[in-house]
Amino acid sequence: GRRNKGGFLRNHSQAQKPQSLDVSQEFMRLYKSLENPSALTLAEVNDDIAKLRQYRFLLIPGYMSDPAPMYLKPTVKAMQGMGLDVKIIDFRTTRPPIERIKNLAREVRASSKRVILAGQSQGGDDALDLILLEPELAREKIAGVIPIQAPLDGTPLVDWALEDGPPLLRPI
């Protein structure tokens, strides 16, 4: 038999999920404005950025990005240039999920602002796992989650490594 595969959706399909807010139309409005930047007024841009300044953005790196997720540095620099409060979560991405999620919960609790979690790859799964494991914390402190390239339904490579790959890659 096949083991329980990875992926947020596979591991939490029966869990009670917090209510979400669909901001797709607003996203598409802003996205389309990039095609014609003159269609978006400076006042609109400044208003949107001002709204975002009330939050702290926690960027959660993907798997194997230790010790320093350099690929997030340009994003941090751009966000800081807009006056946004942003931090890259510093933890070993190869640690067990519960350790990563506990570390993430500490960072969320330590923030004086409500947070927006932006997780790349495995980091997106970690952000969503935190919401399910800590629903009270999520309601109180998490304003949003942005999963970026998150393998919400697992990945064939990880499934292979855990099930059929070399013994060193399989859990003991």
Q: What is the pTM of this model?
A: 0.72
Between residues 90 and 129, which one has the greater pLDDT?
129
**Alpha carbon of 65 to those of 4, 17, 60, 95: distances in Å?**
25, 28, 10, 12
Residue 76: its pLDDT value, please?
Answer: 87
3 pLDDT band, cuts 50/70/90, is: very low
Average predicted confidence (pLDDT) for the chain? 79
Q: What average pLDDT does range 62-80 have in this prediction?
A: 79
Residue 2: its pLDDT value, please?
Answer: 40
